[in-house]
């Protein structure tokens, strides 16, 4: 038995006492009073400690998470700011690109509109030009031809690229066109190449063309050919050549004719004197024949004089009906040909050189007589003509028209354009002066003489003179 106070005083631990020792005055412990409460408190404290530890850990983790979240937020903000900068920069770039694109689109639309307008303008020019425009390959294969082709060439426009340009050309002139394409291929262009259309025998057309090489949209070399109808110009040029020929021959013939006429006058005068003084009948007849031949020679010189300035008309106002009748009586005398007169009794008078106009009627009548033979018919017709489109009828009263028509053999088509050329004749014994002289006389009267004829159907000469 031990006293608890003494044990404390002597500093003896209770655990050092023998087992089953009785300790007096020992204070009671909470555990000994109520073990359940004690363990409940212990467990509660342990739970609280665990909860406290969990809370501490949770708070720590939360703070760490908050720090990490803050870092993430900062990174996210930085990324957002950076993204905003990128978006803003990209937006500016897109806006700039959009403006540039709009500008490019506007420029392209402008170019396209200009291209369409240019294409329409050049198409309008090509389709309305008087010239025919071709696009061909360097070999002459036709790619494009303007719509006025048929009007110029007299045939339908080709509708196939297999058609060659040379097939549109008169066969005799295809060598000229080949040389044109060779020249274009060699030096890039060719100018003023003249040829005839393929249907020249049916509808004669003279064409002048120029060509040049250009690069097409596909990068190939093509040729543009511009062909112009120069038929009328060629007729004018031929007329100018004819007039120049007439003028040159007129100067030559006039000089010779004047000198020869002076010689003839001396011969005729001497023959006349010899006839008067000659008493021998046979010699007088010979002199009469010589005198007649001399007068024929004098008539020839008078025709030659019409080509020269010395043959200019000395005009006076006359009745052409009477002049025609007189000229016909002279030119057809001794002939069995039948002559008919359809003369307008109200025919206007005209200012003409009587002798020269008689020569014109005579020359045309003799030409008709030779074409018809002795059994033909010649019709002489006169009429007044108003509002005719010719330079000789610009006066208030118009023109007087003289028509001389025969039923002879007619004139071949190829000879019609040469009928008034000096020294052109289809007769073995012809001189080719009569109709040329007639043309020169009418021209000097500011008139017109033309001819229409078909082989086997006869010929008609029409003369237009200014009315007084």
Provide the pLDDT for residue 145: 82
pLDDT at 18 over 70: yes
Task: Give the tokens for residue 278.
Answer: 């000659």
Mean pLDDT on 331-358: 84
From the number of C-beta atoms within 10 Å of its C-beta (0-12, 13-18, 19+), residue 2 rates as middle
Q: Would the pLDDT of 453 be above 80?
A: yes
The pLDDT of residue 310: 46
pLDDT tops 60 at residue 308: no
Which contacts of 209-213 are long-range, i.e. CB under 8 A and separated by 24 or more positions? 209/180, 211/180, 211/181, 211/184, 212/184, 212/188, 213/138, 213/184, 213/185, 213/188, 213/189
CATH architecture observed for domain 235-305: Orthogonal Bundle (1.10)
CA–CA distance from 291 to each of 259, 275, 288 (Å)?
A: 18, 9, 5
Q: What is the pLDDT of residue 380?
A: 92
Compute, in degrees rounded to 10, the torsion defined by CA atoms 351, 357, 361, 364: -120
Which of 123-132, 184-193, 393-402, 420-429 is predicted least confidently? 420-429
Judge whether residue 392 has pLDDT over 60. no
- The conformational region for residue 369 under phi > 0 = left, psi -120 to 50 = alpha, else beta, is alpha
pLDDT for 430 beyond 60? no
pLDDT at 387: 66
Would you say 231 and 204 are in contact if contact means Cβ atoms under 8 Å apart?
yes
For range 431-451, the mean pLDDT: 82
pLDDT attached to residue 460: 92
Which residue shows structure tokens 């009928």?
A: 419
pLDDT of 403 > 90? The answer is yes
pLDDT of residue 463: 93
Average pLDDT of span 73-81: 84
Chain segment 143-155, per-residue pLDDT in tens: 888 877 777 776 6
Task: Compute the radius of gyration of the chain from its Cα atoms.
Answer: 63
Give DSSP secondary structure letters for 348-392.
PPEEE-HHHHHHHHHHHHHHHHHHH-TT-EEEEEEEEE-S-SSGG
Mean pLDDT of 403-420: 83
CA distance 17 to 7: 10
Distances 371 to 217, 342, 418 between C-alpha atoms, Å: 63, 21, 17
Token pair 């106009």 in the structure block, residue: 357
% of the chain with per-residue pLDDT over 70: 82
Q: What is the dihedral of CA 274, 280, 284, 285, to 10 degrees?
A: -170
**What is the structure's pLDDT at 63?**
85
Could you tell me what percent of the chain has a pLDDT over 90? 7
pLDDT at position 31, please?
A: 55
What is the signed CA dihedral for 36, 39, 40, 43, rounded to 10 degrees? Answer: -160
Could you give the 3-state DSSP secondary structure of residue 188? coil
Q: pLDDT at residue 428 above 60?
A: no
Tokens, residue 289: 């024949």
For residue 349, the Cα-to-chain-centroid distance in whole angstroms is 49
For strand 377-385 and strand 338-342, is the pairing parallel, antiparallel, or unpaired?
parallel
pLDDT at 429 > cutoff 60: no
The more confidently predicted of residues 314 and 438 is 438
Q: Which residues of 417-453 are buried (b: 16+ CB within 10 A; e: fewer)?
A: eebbbbeebeeeeeebbbbbbbbbbbebbebbbebeb
For domain 129-229, the CATH architecture is 2-Layer Sandwich (3.30)
What is the pTM (predicted TM-score) of this model? Answer: 0.46
CATH number for the domain formed by residue range(s) 313-466: 3.30.565.10
Per domain, the residue ranges of the chain are: 2-33, 129-229, 235-305, 313-466
* Average pLDDT of the segment spanning 33-42: 74
- The pLDDT of residue 383: 92
CA–CA gap between residue 180 and residue 189 (Å, rounded): 9
């Amino acid at each position: 038995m031990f006293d608890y106070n003494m044990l404390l005083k002597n500093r003896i631990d209770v655990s050092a006492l023998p087992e089953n020792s009785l300790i007096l005055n020992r204070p009671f412990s909470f555990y000994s009073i109520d073990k359940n409460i004690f363990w409940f408190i212990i467990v509660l404290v342990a739970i609280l400690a665990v909860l406290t530890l969990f809370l501490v850990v949770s708070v720590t983790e939360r703070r760490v998470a908050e720090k990490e979240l803050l870092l993430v937020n900062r990174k996210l903000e930085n990324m957002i700011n950076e993204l905003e900068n990128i978006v803003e920069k990209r937006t500016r770039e897109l806006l700039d690109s959009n403006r540039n694109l709009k500008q490019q689109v506007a420029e392209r639309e402008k170019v396209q509109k200009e291209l369409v307008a240019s294409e329409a303008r050049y198409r309008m020019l090509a389709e309305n030009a008087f010239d025919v425009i071709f696009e061909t390959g360097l070999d002459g294969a036709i790619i494009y031809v303007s719509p006025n082709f048929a009007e110029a060439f007299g045939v339908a426009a080709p509708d196939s690229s297999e058609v060659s340009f040379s097939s549109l050309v008169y066969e005799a002139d295809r060598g000229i066109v080949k040389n044109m394409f060779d020249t274009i291929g060699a030096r890039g262009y060719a100018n003023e190449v003249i040829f005839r259309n393929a249907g020249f025998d049916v509808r004669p057309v003279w064409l002048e063309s120029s060509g040049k090489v250009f690069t097409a949209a596909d990068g190939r070399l093509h040729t543009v050919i511009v062909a112009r109808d120069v038929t009328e110009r060629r007729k004018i040029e031929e007329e100018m050549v004819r007039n120049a020929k007439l003028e040159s021959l007129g100067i030559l013939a006039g000089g010779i004719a004047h000198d020869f006429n002076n010689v003839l006058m001396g011969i005729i005068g001497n023959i006349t004197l010899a006839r008067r003084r000659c008493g021998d009948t046979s010699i007088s007849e010979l002199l009469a024949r010589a005198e007649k031949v001399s007068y024929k020679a004098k008539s020839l010189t008078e025709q030659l004089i019409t080509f020269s300035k010395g043959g200019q008309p000395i005009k006076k106002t006359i009745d052409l009906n009477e002049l025609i009748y007189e000229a016909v009586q002279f030119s057809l005398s001794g002939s069995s040909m039948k002559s008919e007169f359809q003369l307008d009794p109200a025919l206007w008078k005209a200012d003409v050189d009587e002798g020269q106009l008689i020569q014109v009627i005579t020359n045309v009548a003799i030409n008709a007589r030779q074409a018809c033979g002795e059994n033909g018919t010649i019709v002489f017709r006169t009429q007044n003509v108003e509002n005719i489109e010719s330079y000789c009828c610009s006066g208030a009263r118009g023109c007087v028209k003289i028509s001389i028509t025969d039923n002879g053999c007619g004139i071949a088509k190829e000879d019609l354009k040469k009928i008034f050329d000096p020294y052109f004749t289809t007769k073995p014994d012809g001189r080719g002066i009569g109709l040329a002289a007639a043309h020169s006389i009418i021209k000097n009267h500011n008139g017109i003489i033309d001819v229409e004829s078909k082989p086997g159907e006869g010929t008609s000469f029409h003369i237009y003179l200014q009315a007084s």
